[in-house]
Amino acid sequence: MGEKILMKGSEAIAEAAIRAGAMAFYGYPITPQNETPEYFSRRMPELGRTYLQAESEVAAINMVYGAACTGTRVITTSSSPGISLMQEGFSYIANSDVPCVVVNAMRGGPGLGDIAPAQADYFQATKGGGHGDYHSIVLAPHTVQEQCDMMYDAFDLADKYRIMVVVLVDGLLGQMMEPVEFKDWADVKSYKTPDWATVGQGERSNRNIITSLEILPEDLEKMNLKLQEKYRTIEEIEVRFEEYKMDDAEYVITAFGTTARIAKTSVNMARKEGIRVGIIRPITLYPFPYAVIEKRVNQVKFFFDVEMNAGQMLEDVRLGVNGKKPVYFYGRLGGMVPTAEEIYTAFKKQIGG
Amino acid sequence: MATIQEIVSRETPLAPGHRMCAGCGISPIVNTVVAASDKPVIIANATSCLEVTTTIYPFSAWKIPWVHLTFENAAAVASGIETAYKSLKKRGKITDDVNILAFGGDGGTYDIGFQALSGALERGHKFMYVVYDNEGYMNTGNQRSGATPFGASTTTVPAGTHSFGKPQWRKNIVEIAAAHRIPFTAQAAVHNLLDLYNKAKKGFGADGPAFMAVLQPCTTNWHYDSELTIAYSRLASETNFWPLYEVENGKVHINYKPKERKPIEEFLKGQRRFKHLFKPENKHVIEEMQKMIDEEWERLLQLEAAQVRF
């Protein structure tokens, strides 16, 4: 670990990705995350790494796909409408078993929407997004520091499972300046080209083939089942969450990313008034921490889900609760960010306050 | 032939109060192009400075029918409008003639919207596509585009110890459009509105697709005093950096030939995006730029002289 530096979230995330071993960046301009590619454009050439601005998001994600096939640590960053354009590429990447990292700084939608912070891409990120049966691992940091630490995990998980990892942030985390401490630089020189990478046959006796195509349905089914097997493993061992003041909690707020951070303040307000409420904050949105929800079902009176959307993670919380307790919801839409007081007031209504 | 006085006395499609930067030339380009139409105009506008600054919710600066669409699809939506219009007319539901106009910035035209543009030109829809070219993604903070000139420093090709700015020459979008064998393509600039008007008139009158690229110096991201927009546009023509010409039914005609071509430094100096080029170590960049400009101009003269069709 180094010294603490005051950095803007959208630039810190790029620096962290670079230190975590990102060797290539491909992207396309879109607000509210232009500072991230701009930061890459300055730093990558200095380090002899690749920065390339594509002619569209469709091109950018397919460049990522190409680089990922060589086993190179590769990243792209974008925001909601740009991420929508990339979905076809995501789907190909998923069924081709190649690793990459994608940062989505979510903005208000649908359509052109606005450029304010939102969390309305939860469904798109966690349930697949593109066509076919697939998932990406989805990480949701709630501070600039966590966002930086997570870039290392993102690349490691991507390599470990040969999967796309989405880091889901928003413009609020991007524009915020906070002190960050970066982990040590990844030793990129020690990385060996993976044996599956398509970099020329060389000394190998076999030819590597990366494809998402199987013409015969029985073969494609096998390919799909293999993918599903991978997802079951990930669901078993990669679930991450944070419990905040849950030990004695009678009520629980569920929230991720920016809203979880705001809700922590709401919880402290409640605690001052003697209301025992805690937070379950999913860190991996896929795989979703259903088990911790199930574990707390008998302990608490109800669940109160808070999001900057119309209730997306809400569906996963309800699956975890499975009808055993009420699940209430408070959401702001279109780029509106709730205040801690607002969340607290909405929460108090449910306990009759 | 209209005079400037006649053109500016027509009702403008843009109401005052839009949020363009002081010194921006986009509104005179839009007003002049639309003034050249003797029929009602329908506009399809890609995501761009023009779109963002004229439609700050819940307001609109547009006094004529206007639609915004995704960044990459101005030409596709214009194609749809044109096809629907033809169908309505055929069925007798509409009797008036209209002109269909697509506006895009250079990012939405040279880069992400290129596929839709090429498709629309190839299918031969009767519409005009106008790119106001400010040589980068100015709406999102000056990232490089396919139109950014060689040597310019942008936020995604920053000049520094490892770079002199953009290492590629810009795309020749006018010749690319002309290569679709469409009846009219042209290159114009904001300092010469009469020339722009005449070209727009020809474009609207063409029997098929028309395409125009109009230079629009960007006070915000080229970084110069806002009163100098027209001066820089003029210098771009006087240095042959941005020749004014048209390709009518495949034949090149140059509209302006400087008596004495000014050196490219005249255009570069005072713009912060080119400031680094005046360092001694970057002298070769300006030399290369000058060489390319002169070669391109020579080629254009030959195309005009030969009168060989595109």
Q: Give the per-residue pLDDT at A22.
A: 98
Sheet holding A24-27, edge to edge: A50-53, A24-27, A74-78, A100-106, A164-170, A137-139, A284-286
Residues of B in contact with A41 (CB under 8 A): 155-158
Q: What is the pLDDT of residue A310?
A: 98
Q: Which domain holds residue B279?
A: 4-306
- Residue from the list B47, B141, B162 with its beta carbon closest to the beta carbon of A45: B162
Pairwise CB contact (< 8 Å): B112 & A30: no
Strand A100-106, strand A164-170: pairing:
parallel
Tokens of B272: 């912060």
Q: Do A34 and B155 touch (CB under 8 A)?
A: yes
CA-based nearest residue to A83, from A44, A7, A138: A138
Whether the per-residue pLDDT at A1 is higher than 60: the answer is no
Environment class of residue A218 by beta-carbon count within 10 Å: exposed (0-12), middle (13-18) or buried (19+)? exposed
Helix (H, G, I), strand (E, B) or coil at A227: helix
What is the model's pLDDT at position A14? 98
Among A197-206, A230-239, A259-268, the range scoring the smallest mean pLDDT is A197-206
Q: Which of A42, A53, A57 is the closest to B143 by Cβ?
A: A53
- pLDDT tens column, A288-317: 999 999 999 999 999 999 999 999 999 999
Low-confidence ranges of chain B (pLDDT < 70): none
Matching residue, tokens 């810190």 = A12
d(CA B58, CA A227): 47
Averaged pLDDT, A209-238: 97
Q: Do A56 and B111 touch (CB under 8 A)?
A: yes
pLDDT of residue A352: 86
pLDDT band at residue A158 under the 50/70/90 scheme: very high
User: pLDDT, tens digit, for every residue of A335-346?
Assistant: 999 999 999 999
Per-residue model confidence (pLDDT) at position A121: 98
pLDDT band at residue A353, thresholds of 50, 70 and 90?
A: low
Contact list in B for residue A85 (CB cut-off 8 A) is 72
| pLDDT band, very low/low/confident/very high, at A273 (cuts 50, 70, 90) | very high
Q: Which of residues 20-49 of B touch A (CB under 8 A)?
A: 47
DSSP state of B108: I
Chain A positions with Cβ closer than 8 Å to B: 28-31, 34, 37-38, 41-42, 45-46, 51, 53, 55-57, 81, 85, 112
pLDDT at site B15: 94
**Mutation choice for B interface testing from A39, A61, A84, A112 by most B CBs within 10 A:** A112
**Is the Cβ pair A29, B157 closer than 8 Å?**
no
Domains, chain A, ordered by start: 5-199+225-237 (3.40.50.970), 241-349 (3.40.50.920)
Count of CB atoms situated within 10 Å of the CB of A177: 12
Report pLDDT digits (tens) over A62-112.
Answer: 999 999 999 999 999 999 999 999 999 999 999 999 999 999 999 999 999
The CATH number of whichever domain residue B40 belongs to comes to 3.40.50.970
User: CB neighbours of B80 closer than 8 A, spacing ≥ 6?
Assistant: none
The per-residue pLDDT for range A132-152, each reduced to its tens digit, is: 999 999 999 999 999 999 999
